[in-house]
Structure 1
Amino acid sequence: MSKVDLKNFKFDGLQQEAITDLNALSEEDKDQLLMAGVVSDLSTRSASYLQMDQSAVHCQSKDDGVEIMDIKEALKKYDGLKEYYWTLVDKDKDEFTRSAHDNLHGGYFIRVKAGAKIKDPIQSCLMLKSENVGQNVHNLVIIEEGAEAHIITGCSVAHGTKSGAHLGISEFFVKKNASLTFTMVHNWSESVAVRPRSAGVVEEGGKFLSNYVLLKPVKDLQMYPSIELNGPDSVARFNSVVVATEGSHLDMGNRVIMNAPETRCEIIARTIASGGTIINRGHIAAHHTPSKGHLECQGLILGSGRIWAIPELDGSLEGVELSHEASVGKIAQDEIEYLMARGMDEDEATSTIVRGFLNTDIMGLPERLQKEIDKQIDELQSSNAM
């Protein structure tokens, strides 16, 4: 992992004005947001949050079951959020957590009230608008007992922005019999450094389902979210679809720690290196029985690039059930020949295989977001002359 020098970025003085209506954004910025799964038409969203550079510029909830605000306001309202804020991530973990702690710019606070079943997704976006901006955010998500919600969070640069640093702390709390689907789409650019630090806890009967999509270039990304299943019958699932283009260096993965009986988890990653480097990590630890976990890391190399798959299973009791599959390689020639024998040319055959490999249908994404992801896959295939 290359060194990120925070002194190269501006962590002060880049404030942005409030935006009442997201439709007032430029067409270019709206397009950038859409490529990160964030829509300007809020008729299909229950709540929305947008941060640009070092300012929360938009925050609105249309559902009584959803409380959403800038983290700074939440800290004032709830007396520092002592039960939650900085309880899962160590503020002294590294220079990036220290930067976020010492110079907080913003971030979203999302609370879904007990028993609320939120029909439309909640959306949030963290955008780098200025050149060479440094952005420190802290996100806090609380899904109260029996509640259900889907959060779509997009991280993006503005149109024309090339360089920046995003340091994002996220802490998730899924209460008893609650359910959170958390979908993250990254839409960065070639000279952006990204350092998320994320952790969560799931209580009895709770579910945490994570989808992650990265198809656009990013210079340097390092993330390893960790979820603890602390109550019986709790579940965690991670699905990732990732592409490392030329010049991208990605060190990423997921960790699940099963601290209670009757827990289940699954980590599935699909990665493509098309000129870039991917270190794909996965770690499942089981400390109670019965518990069951499966880890799957599948990698394709298109042209040049490099993929390390590093699966780890940690069982501490007789009777835990943990399994993993890992593979790295190229598209099999016999698969291409099979499709060519049915009338496709070589480019079409390769394109079909890649599209199947990067299938995001399993994520249950909203139709509009799914179409945008399909569009990104088409652009990827075009850029690689498939």
Structure 2
Amino acid sequence: MPKIKKVNPEVKLDKFKFEGEEVKIDGLHQISEQDREELEMAGVDIEEVERSGTYLHINHSKATCSTKQEGLEILDIKDALEKYDGLPEYFWKAVNKDKDEYTKLAAEKLHGGYFIKVEKGRKITEPVQSCLFIKGENVGQSVHNIIVIEEGAEVHIITGCATSHKVKSALHLGISEFYIKKGGKLTFTMVHNWGEQVDVRPRTVGIVEEGGVFQSNYILLKPVKSVQSFPVIYLNGKGAVARFNSILVAPPGAYINSGNKIVLNAEDTRGEIISRAITTGGEIIAPGIIEANSVPAKGHLECKGLILNDGIIHAIPELKGTKSGVELSHEAAVGKIAQEEIEYLMARGLDEDEATSTIVRGFMNVDIMGLPAKLKQSIDKIIAETEKDMF
């Protein structure tokens, strides 16, 4: 049996180029046809018809940035730092810059990233989209993203991460800090479309105040060399809620260490982590932690893994309660498709491959994520293409 790799596979940082020319465009319409396809596979709406704003970062700099709705501010993080005197309330306040070698390098080599703020009471009806794009071999990209949802405000942000079709090897470092004020709501959907030899090291922390809601949707269906991701959300106000939904697929050669943590620090807080993992030969480590430090508080963690070929899925559910009366639960299952499920569908006219494909498609169901119709269509298309690679 193959061994599980160490938690942090070595990335040779000196291999990657963190300096380079800036790329500027007047809008997404200037993206080439080939690059357009890669961005669309990461959930980007090139036409921006159903988007309230757009931020695009290419390699080492902001390429374009725009907003179409009052009360919504989108800036490059460098511009935001200048405008707001260093963003003393938010910049490196949730994430510790000395956490590891990746955060230290990200602090030293800041290329850009988005600053998104929604004003108090504003309900942004159409999603904001951001894209972190790499064009060029062995590019090292370092971004720092900050989202501030002011009191009573709401927004859905769709972030697509991708590499150009010609890129084989690259490194992405992404620091993200989320601040959701009283009664605010952030839905954050991330779609990854990296290359087969790309290493990805995001570091994410969010803080949610009283009555705030944070929902995360994470979709990784395309090949990648390695991902190490473990967002942490602190529910610090009464009645705050956090939900994580993720779908992960690991083809041969891929190593994915992706999990989530929710800390329930106030009464009447609720947390939920739902993970679906499929391996067709790669390795998936899926840690999940819910910690409750106040009562009443409720949390549920669910991780299900499907092994379609030789590969590894290591589900690590963990519950921690520090007060009498917390309600925490988890369920985890890793295995193969049940033969009786296949036989059931075959008895209704499907052949074995069609039956297996139907079951896998249901396993990767994104309906619970509440995605916009156009994005859901795009994700369904990616799932269909992923199925072809699986079988």
Q: TM-score, normalised by structure 1?
A: 0.99
Residue 135 (structure 2) aligns with = 129
Residue 171 (structure 2) aligns with = 165
**SS at the partner of 2:74?**
strand
Q: Distance in 1 between matches of 2:261 and 2:268?
A: 18
| In the alignment, structure 1 residue 115 sits paired with structure 2 residue 121 | yes
Residue 13 (structure 2) aligns with = 6
Give the deviation of 1:30 after TM superposition.
0.9
Q: Distance in 2 between matches of 1:6 and 1:17?
A: 23
Alignment of 1:263-282 (within 5 A): 263-282=269-288
Structure 1: runs of 5+ lacking an equivalent: none
Give the deviation of 1:241 after TM superposition.
0.6
The one-letter code matched in structure 1 to 2:103 is T
Give the deviation of 1:312 after TM superposition.
0.5
**SS at the partner of 1:74?**
helix
The one-letter code matched in structure 2 to 1:371 is Q
Give the deviation of 1:42 after TM superposition.
1.4
**SS at the partner of 1:293?**
strand
The percent identity for this pair of structures is: 59
Residue 312 (structure 1) aligns with = 318
The one-letter code matched in structure 1 to 2:66 is Q
Give the deviation of 1:16 after TM superposition.
3.2
**SS at the partner of 1:44?**
coil
- Residue pair 1:154, 1:187 contacting (<8 A) in 2 also: yes
Give deviations 1:90-122, integer Å, cap 9, x for gaps: 101111101110110000000001000001100
Give the deviation of 1:384 after TM superposition.
2.1
Q: Distance in 1 between matches of 2:389 and 2:209?
A: 44
Alignment of 1:1-150 (within 5 A): 1-13=8-20, 15-150=21-156
Size of the aligned set, in residue pairs, is: 384
Q: Distance in 2 between matches of 1:218 and 1:118?
A: 33
The one-letter code matched in structure 2 to 1:2 is P
Give deviations 1:111-165, integer Å, cap 9, x for gaps: 0010000011000000011111000100000000000000000000012211100
- Residue pair 1:109, 1:141 contacting (<8 A) in 2 also: yes
| In the alignment, structure 1 residue 198 sits paired with structure 2 residue 198 | no
Q: Distance in 1 between matches of 2:103 and 2:288?
A: 22
Structure 2: runs of 5+ lacking an equivalent: 1-7
The one-letter code matched in structure 2 to 1:283 is I
| In the alignment, structure 1 residue 218 sits paired with structure 2 residue 224 | yes
| In the alignment, structure 1 residue 367 sits paired with structure 2 residue 373 | yes
| In the alignment, structure 1 residue 178 sits paired with structure 2 residue 184 | yes
- Residue pair 1:117, 1:148 contacting (<8 A) in 2 also: yes
Q: Distance in 2 between matches of 1:318 and 1:99?
A: 42
Q: Distance in 1 between matches of 2:141 and 2:390?
A: 32
Q: Distance in 1 between matches of 2:382 and 2:250?
A: 13
Q: Distance in 1 between matches of 2:263 and 2:327?
A: 13
- Residue pair 1:184, 1:212 contacting (<8 A) in 2 also: yes
Give the deviation of 1:219 after TM superposition.
0.1
**SS at the partner of 1:42?**
coil
The one-letter code matched in structure 1 to 2:370 is G
In angstroms, what is the RMSD of aligned CA positions?
0.7
Q: Distance in 2 between matches of 1:44 and 1:374?
A: 18
- Residue pair 1:30, 1:39 contacting (<8 A) in 2 also: no
- Residue pair 1:30, 1:40 contacting (<8 A) in 2 also: yes
- Residue pair 1:245, 1:275 contacting (<8 A) in 2 also: yes
Q: Distance in 2 between matches of 1:289 and 1:258?
A: 9
